[in-house]
Amino acid sequence: MQFDYKKSGLTILLIFSMVISSTAQTGFHAERAFDDLQAQCDLGPRNPNSPGANAAIQFFQSILEPLADTLHLQNFQLDDPYSSGKLNLTNIVARFQPQKSQRIILCAHWDTRPRAEYDPSHPERAMIGANDGASGVAILLEIARQLKANPVNPGIDIILFDGEDYGAPRDLQYYLLGSRYYVEHPYPPMAQQVILLDMVGDAELTIKVDPVSYRAAPRLVEEIWTLAGDIGYDQFQFVAGASMYDDHVPFIEQGIQAIDIIDFEYPGPDNAYWHTHQDTPDKCSAESLEAVGNTVLSWLYQQ
Ligand SMILES: [Zn+2]
């Protein structure tokens, strides 16, 4: 994910109405989700064309194949902007009730950066990406287990995007590779709402509102943040955070309601662990995965 410099500094007036509390107790298993975060990191860096990326695809397939109604490995190739070679990319698309026209996409990027440009010691080395990569995926794998055990009303597409975090700083055209490809090659029917999870594992979790998301889908943002508060998760704060250029943007450009749930203060406002080798599992927590996973799953059961 890349900070959107053009839109930074925007503040928005956030007004929300309290809704009647309905805090379904879901079966979301936070320790199991954290194990999936750790397991991804144990595979090493998972940037395009790396051994870790191939191992990660096998890992996702082994978990999702028995859970989803249909599982697609959406393979595609692009010219590598930073070498003469090709990038081999794979979106993982796990569909639940694929015949339903009312649909929701839950998504996260599974790739990690081929570099850690803000690391003081080894900026040229590929990252592990515990928070920036593994955290959102870990929550979605656990949600997939819950959807198998207790289906929800709408059709759900869980999509793990490749190539989100490939670009060099400010090379915005080389970010969001998987989500851009997906909106051009979707499995129909296309969802009406999209919830993106990115950097949701920080042990010091504070999730402010991305103004890009709020402009695109204010009611969806209000529903999620209000529900989190009703359950008692004070990690969700209904104030404007930084504007995000992330995998929700290609959907918004298609006129689809899409929001990004992201904590862009890792661990604090200086974002010191972001795109460094400090982004490791010990900086993340099961409690944070639970706050996000249980909120999103509770919202799904209300649909
Ligand atoms: Zn990133």
User: What does each C-alpha distance from 112 to 31, 56, 58, 59 come to in angstroms?
Assistant: 22, 11, 16, 15
Between 159 and 13, the more confident residue is 159
Q: How far is the CA of 112 from the centre of ligand 1 (A)?
A: 7
For 236-255, what is the mean pLDDT?
98
Q: Which of 266, 252, 111 has its CA nearest to residue 191? A: 252
Q: How far is the CA of 244 from the centre of ligand 1 (A)?
A: 11
Mean per-residue pLDDT over the chain, rounded = 94
129 burial level (CB within 10 Å; 0-12, 13-18, 19+): buried
Q: How far is the CA of 253 from the centre of ligand 1 (A)?
A: 21
Q: How far is the CA of 231 from the centre of ligand 1 (A)?
A: 29
Q: How far is the CA of 275 from the centre of ligand 1 (A)?
A: 6
- In this prediction, residue 263 has a pLDDT band, given cuts at 50, 70 and 90, of very high
CB 133 within 8 A of CB 161: no
C-alpha span between 225 and 231 (Å, rounded)? 10
| Token output for 24 | 């379904």
Strand 70-79 relative to strand 86-96, pairing: antiparallel
Q: What pTM was computed for the model?
A: 0.93
Q: How far is the CA of 99 from the centre of ligand 1 (A)?
A: 34
| Token output for 22 | 């309905």
Q: How far is the CA of 264 from the centre of ligand 1 (A)?
A: 10
Q: Tell me which of 5-19, 32-46, 80-94, 95-109 is least confident.
A: 5-19
Q: How far is the CA of 165 from the centre of ligand 1 (A)?
A: 5
- Residues ≥6 apart with Cβ < 8 Å to 121: 277
CB 132 within 8 A of CB 198: yes
For the chain, which domains are there?
Answer: 16-205+244-301 (3.40.630.10)
